[in-house]
Amino acid sequence: EVQLVESGGGLVQAGGSLRLSCKTSGFTHIAYAIGWFRQAPGKEREGVSCISSDGSTYSADSVKGRFTISIDNAKNTVYLQMNSLKPEDTAVYYCAAVENAVPIAGVPTNQYEYDYWGQGTQVTVSS
């Protein structure tokens, strides 16, 4: 079974940077997608950045130009580099994954397309 372990959250001032890590294990298929989602208090969970095994990526408009998703296949780890952080980026960030026996068309961006979830890591941006 796929397992995901997030790390790297914390408290940072506005304008600062953080890098979240998602250590993955248990993939059995060659095609997969991994996404970062976030949920702020009182709000619905939303997609932040996603990447698929063919290299396709997605980033929400609210983070374009500030957040970058990447994969280190040697370390089985997906990173979310977050720069120029804003107070509105404050949320619990979740790593999610889905795998498939055949290539995934594009990159899934809806949370309901993902089967596996990490425990979440808190990111707090102070003003």
Q: Nearest Cα to 6, choosing from 98, 122, 124, 100?
A: 122
pLDDT at 55: 87
E-only strand ranges, 3-103:
3-7, 10-13, 18-25, 31-39, 46-52, 57-59, 67-72, 77-82, 91-100
Q: Tell me what the mean pLDDT of segment 2-21 comes to.
A: 97
Distance CA(78)–CA(86), nearest Å, equals 22
Tell me the mean pLDDT in the region 59-72.
Answer: 96
**Cα(125)–Cα(108) distance, integer angstroms:** 27
Query: What is the structure's pLDDT at 63?
Result: 97
pLDDT value for 36: 98
